[in-house]
Amino acid sequence: MVVVAMVVFFLSLLGIAALFALKYWELRREHVVAPALREKVDARADKLKELMSAARTDASKLPPALVRLARFMVHELALGFAALARLLERQAHRLADMVSYKHRFERRETRSEFLKKVAEHKNGGGQSNIGNSSPELDESAD
């Protein structure tokens, strides 16, 4: 969840920086990019600002108990979504295990001679010649 918040934050920061860079470029060139679109977007932004200020004044009129109840409901809704996400995650893992060819994985003996020797050495069955002088090596050196 923290990663998502960080990604949203940095994308927003990048967007703000891009808007400032665009404004700086427009001021230097004395050219407005997409003036018709900008007018429409500005009108919608003004409308959104009016709606937000109206919502703020309406929210200040609500009794504190109703605000606490709404907060509680939003919290419970978030917990419900988290529980649903956990359930879906478990079911996804179960489904992946069911369809996987390794569902009933049984270790077979390897066909590689090298891996057999390594495993034998690891389990203590092989003799290590490192640092020890073996008579076989002394005879072959002659």
In a domain, 42, yes or no: yes
Select the more confidently predicted residue: 67 or 22: 22
Mean pLDDT across 70-81:
95
Kindly tell me the burial class for residue 30, based on how many C-beta atoms sit within 10 Å of its own C-beta (0-12, 13-18, 19 or more).
exposed
| 126 confidence band (pLDDT: 50, 70, 90) | low
Sequence-distant (6+) residues with CB within 8 A of 121 are 128
Q: How many domains does the chain have?
A: 2
Q: How far apart are CA 55 and CA 6, in angstroms?
A: 28
Q: Specify the higher pLDDT residue, 127 or 32.
A: 32
In a domain, 91, yes or no: yes
In a domain, 41, yes or no: yes
Same domain flag for 27 and 57 = yes
- Residues belonging to the chain: 142
pLDDT at 127: 57
Do the Cβ atoms of 136 and 142 come closer than 8 Å? no
Q: How far apart are CA 61 and CA 67, in angstroms?
A: 10
Phi, psi of 49 (to 5 degrees): -65, -40
- Of 33, 61, 89, the domain-final residue: 61
What DSSP string describes 1-30?
A: -HHHHHHHHHHHHHHHHHHHHHHHHHHHHT
* Nearest-angstrom CA–CA distance, 24 and 4: 30
Q: Is residue 138 part of a domain?
A: no
Q: What is the mean pLDDT of residues 110-116?
A: 84
Q: Is residue 6 part of a domain?
A: no
* pLDDT for the residue 59: 83
Are 57 and 89 members of one domain? no
**Do 55 and 69 fall into the same domain?**
no
Q: What is the model's pTM?
A: 0.39
Report residue 140's pLDDT band, with 50, 70 and 90 as the boundaries.
very low
Residues 95 and 67 in one domain: yes
Q: Is residue 15 part of a domain?
A: no
Task: Determine the structural domain holding residue 44 and report its residue range.
Answer: 21-61
How many CB atoms sit inside 10 A of residue 73's CB? 10
Average pLDDT over residues 40-44: 96
In a domain, 7, yes or no: no
